[in-house]
Amino acid sequence: MRSGLLILAVIAGYILLRGWPEQWHPIVRIFVSASLLVITFSFWGHCERSTSTLAKSARQPRAFDYLAISLAILLIECFFLVFLSIVPEKSERFALAVNDLLQSDSDYEKKKNSNESQEKDRGSNGENESLVTSNWLFSGPGRRSLNKNKKVRPSNRPEVYLFPATPNDARILLDRERFLRNFTLATYREESWFPLSMVPRTLSARNEVINFAVTPTEPKMTYEISHQVNRGGPTLAITVPNLLSIKQPTLREISPDTFRLPPNTIRAEEYRYEVTSAPLDFKNILEIIPGTLISPEYLELPSNPKLRGKIKTLAARFGAPTRESLLSLRRYLHENSRYSLDPAMPAMAEPVESFLFETKTGYCTHFATATVLLARAMGIPARIAFGWSGGRYFSDPNLFVFRAREAHAWAEIYLKDHGWVIFETTPALREEGLPSVAGTNEISPYTANFGDAETTLNEKNTVPLLKASLWIGVALFALLIGALIVKRPPVPISENSLVAGVLPNSPNYLSAFRRACLAHGQPMPSGCTLRTHLEKITAPDFTVKLLQYHYSVLYGDQPRDKIIEKKLLHQLRKWEREAV
């Protein structure tokens, strides 16, 4: 029974320290688990045990002993809390640094080609993706297939929360098209988009912030992003395009403008981080000059000669790469293509060819793909980006909410002196979700699910938690040392008590005999037998019966008799009183 309770207490303590229940503060879980273990150990140690001949301690455990054990357990748990909060992140940094040092370009290409082959072997699985949750955004090697004949059914589930630092930052987003970028892809082949081939690199923070060498534009805005962990693949940073800085200890850039977040040691399921961006509108750029070629893949066209020829012929209609030609391209797509989440393309058709020249029906991914390929044919470096657009603004908590139905793909073009600029060609009246403003009395999903949404950039982080844990550990250690200093000196233990402690428990009558002998000035030495001592002293006549009974019980088969022992005890106490 005692062992079973102890096992249950250990299991319960382990579950608490693992982080359940999640709504409890870590310090509360530590104290509950420690208290549970101490109470269980106390119960386990005070249970009545059967008499045995095993050696025992010189004294019984005291309250101070249990206090010392409790403080030691709390110190160990505080140490593990700090250790497990700091070491995993440091370990990942070290592992990524070693990986960057050892991994060569050829190794990366070999791994990338292997991943692509595995993805290809899966058949049509890539074409069955749907815009339901953020897991659709990035999985496996990052391949994104163009759905041809599968109807997309987006859900209404909130996926990303954006908290502007100030009302002015919110106004910046309200005055323009809103985009949240998750990742970019550059290579189009086999009816799919793939990331640009590059060796991943690790970016480390300076003063807790990672800054990017981007030409800043005005206006700049600061905000916080909150989203869940991506269970379908790596969790990537989500930001407003033209990223300037992000508050993270490290980022892993796995492809251009695609950053994998470090493991989340603070919130098990939720990421939340501060970002600064300088959103740039295509409509504010008056002169279009293609930027210097940063990678030949940004000008690649499909390998199919027939499709490549059709794209070049169509692009020639728009002329040289100018602002007017790009506006003509967008106007052409709006007037000649129809937006639908059910493209219904022929099974054997090439998606881009079907969208541009046959069915002329598709959704954001088809519009963005066609735009990228036509811009490349015009001599403008271009790529496709995936994330969210639109969003619903809640003025009271100053919050933007992006839902699964607002997951979006768009084209980005590379321009001189501007970098990557969003070039949106998907019709504004699309079914995926449009920018909107919530009513005055409408409650935001974040407030309903997580509580007060007004805690944005000033929200307490985990540094105070770690400091509090450390100070609690130091205080408990100081309390233990202070108690040891002021504790009274231990009571000296006599030789007789030590011998008695390591031998089997003496019967009551034998202990009474020792006390009586001591009262008469004839103490019984340790190790001396009852017979030997009686031969050396002058004792009453009843001690003969005492000797006979003792040896018949100790060495004979006679069971102990409570009546006889009670009578002997009475006589021994009377003899002891006679000495006074």
Per-residue pLDDT of the chain (580 residues; tens, 9 = 90+): 677 887 888 888 778 776 677 556 666 777 787 778 778 777 766 655 544 445 556 667 777 777 788 778 777 777 776 776 666 656 656 665 665 555 444 444 444 444 444 444 433 333 333 333 344 454 445 778 886 656 666 678 888 999 999 999 999 999 888 999 999 999 998 888 999 888 888 999 998 899 987 666 678 999 999 998 877 678 899 999 989 999 999 999 988 999 999 887 656 678 999 999 998 878 878 778 887 767 889 999 999 999 999 999 999 999 888 889 999 999 999 999 999 888 888 878 899 999 999 999 988 899 999 999 999 999 999 999 999 998 899 988 899 999 888 889 999 999 888 889 999 999 877 655 567 787 777 777 876 665 544 444 444 444 455 555 566 667 766 776 776 666 555 555 444 444 444 444 567 888 888 888 888 888 888 878 888 888 888 888 888 888 888 888 887 778 888 888 888 888 888 888 887 6
pTM of the model: 0.58
Predicted pLDDT of residue 466:
53
Cα separation, 152 vs 201, whole angstroms = 35
Cα-based angle 253, 258, 259 (whole degrees, multiple of 5): 50
The Cα 113–Cα 364 span in angstroms is 28
Q: Tell the burial category of 453 from Cβ atoms under 10 Å away from its Cβ (0-12, 13-18, 19+).
A: buried
What is the phi-psi region of residue 288: left when phi exceeds 0, alpha when psi lies from -120 to 50, beta otherwise? Answer: beta
State the number of CA atoms in the 13 A half-sphere of 309 facing the CB: 3
The tokens for 203 are 């970016």
pLDDT on residue 483: 65
Record the tokens describing residue 554, joined without a space.
């100790």
pLDDT digits 0-9 by tens, 365-411: 999 999 999 999 999 999 999 999 988 999 888 999 998 888 899 99
In the chain, where are the structural domains located? 2-87+466-486, 103-459, 495-578
pLDDT at 579: 79
3-state secondary structure at position 41: helix
Judge whether 239 and 180 are in contact, CB under 8 Å.
yes
CA–CA dist 366, 381 (Å, integer): 18
Burial degree of 112 (CB within 10 A; 0-12, 13-18, 19+):
middle
Coil, helix or strand for 535?
helix
